Amino acid sequence: MADYLTDEEQADRLKRWWDQNGTALVVGVALAVAAVVGWRYYQTYTTNRDNDASAAYMAYLEARETGEPTTDLLATLDSEYTGSGYHVFALLHRAADQVEEEDWEEALAYLERAAELTDSQVIADTARYRAAKVLYQLGRLDQALAQLAKIRSAGFRVDVAELSGDIHIANDDPAAARAAYVAGVEAAGQETANPPNIELLELKLSSMVDQE
């Protein structure tokens, strides 16, 4: 029976098995080792990179706070960490600083760049919402509405509706404004947990005379 093999036969089988499978085994193990090493290396690399971006951003915030020059730090974030979370935050800060200076065009440029560079839908939508505020300020009402129309994040529905309503009012279109405010109140009603504060929105709506 095949169960009883001589040493020679066993050695022979082992050898044949090795001839058939040896290469695959060596390649498999080598691949696994390479994958583990590569993955670990990649993890360390990205973590270090994130930490460096974090440090650069914190240094920028610190300098901004104390009034020291920020140009170099911003240049580093712009060039080395383009599109990273920290770069986008820095863009949002610069936009807010420009708003403070009432340099609306510059603020708009930073916000549009932030929306374009980030991978995060919700951060991009935050930037678009703010860009719409700036366009509203500039009186470019159609462009403001177009920015709002691009927002996909569900959490912004109430805010988008309220701002659209305000823009329609500025555009002398009360019917559209009313529709937007009503949509905002309805959207707020669908938020079960932590519904947004819509006192002002409701007051805006109740201040409008019915046109029937």
Partner 1 sequence: MVMQKMRAGAQGLAAKVLMGLVVFVLAVTGFGAIQLFSGSEPVVASVNGDDITERALQAEVNAHRRAYEDLGQDLTQEMLDSLVDRGAVLAAMIDQALLAQAADDLGLSMADEAVQARLRAEFARQGGFDEALFRNALASVGHTPTSFHAERFVHEVTGQLRRGLSDTAFLTSRELRRASEVVAQKRDIAWLTFRVPSLMDEVEVSDEEIAEHYDAYQENYVSEERFDFDLVRMPRSSLEADIEIGEEEVVAAYEAEVADAEPLRRAAHILLEVSDERSPEEAERILAGARASILAGASFGEKAREMSEDPGTADDGGDLGPSGRGVFPAAFEEALWALAPGELSAPVRTEFGVHLIKLISEEAEDPPTLAERREEITARLRREEADRRFQSVLDDFDKLAFEEEDSLLGLAGEFGLAIEPLDGATRRTREGLLAEKAVRDALFSDEVLVEGYNSSAVATADAEALVARLRTRHPPLQRPLEEVKEAVRLTLKEFGARGLAEQRALRALEELTGGKAPSDVSGEHGLSWERADGFRIDGQGVPLPVAELAFSMKAPGPGERNTDLARLDDGSQAIVLLTNVALADYGALPEADREQLATMFASSAGPRDLAAMLRTLRGAASIDAKDLSDPG
Given candidates 77, 95, 161, 198, which one binds partner 1 under the rule CB under 8 A?
A: 95
Residue 92 and residue 69 in contact, taking contact as beta carbons nearer than 8 Å: no
Burial class (CB in 10 A: 0-12, 13-18, 19+), 137: middle
Rounded CA separation 162/167 (Å): 9
Closest CA to 92 of 59, 118, 54: 118
With CB under 8 A as the contact rule, which of the stretches 3-11, 70-78, 152-160 interacts with partner 1?
Answer: 152-160
With CB under 8 A as the contact rule, which of the stretches 3-11, 38-46, 71-79 interacts with partner 1?
Answer: 38-46
Q: Which own/partner pairs from 113-120 qualify as long-range (CB within 8 Å, at least 24 positions apart)?
A: 114/88, 117/82, 117/83, 117/87, 117/88, 117/91, 118/83, 118/85, 118/88, 119/83, 120/85, 120/88
Closest CA to 128 of 109, 106, 110, 151: 151
Closest CA to 168 of 186, 195, 149, 150: 149
Least separation, in Å, of the C-beta of 206 and partner 1? Answer: 5
Instruction: Report how many residues bind partner 1 under the rule CB under 8 A.
Output: 69
Least separation, in Å, of the C-beta of 182 and partner 1? Answer: 12
Task: Give residues 121-150 in contact with partner 1 (rule: CB under 8 A).
Answer: 121-123, 125-126, 129-130, 133-134, 136-137
With CB under 8 A as the contact rule, which of the stretches 7-15, 27-35, 71-79 interacts with partner 1?
Answer: 27-35
Given candidates 96, 109, 182, 185, which one binds partner 1 under the rule CB under 8 A?
A: 96
Q: Taking CB under 8 A as the rule, does residue 100 contact partner 1?
A: yes
Q: Give the tokens for residue 78.
A: 């712009």
Least separation, in Å, of the C-beta of 14 and partner 1? Answer: 15
Contact positions vs partner 1 (CB under 8 A): 20-21, 24-25, 28-29, 31-32, 35-36, 39-40, 46-47, 50-51, 53-55, 57-58, 66-68, 84-86, 88-89, 92-93, 95-96, 99-100, 120-123, 125-126, 129-130, 133-134, 136-137, 153-156, 158-159, 166, 169-170, 191, 193-194, 196, 200, 202-204, 206-210
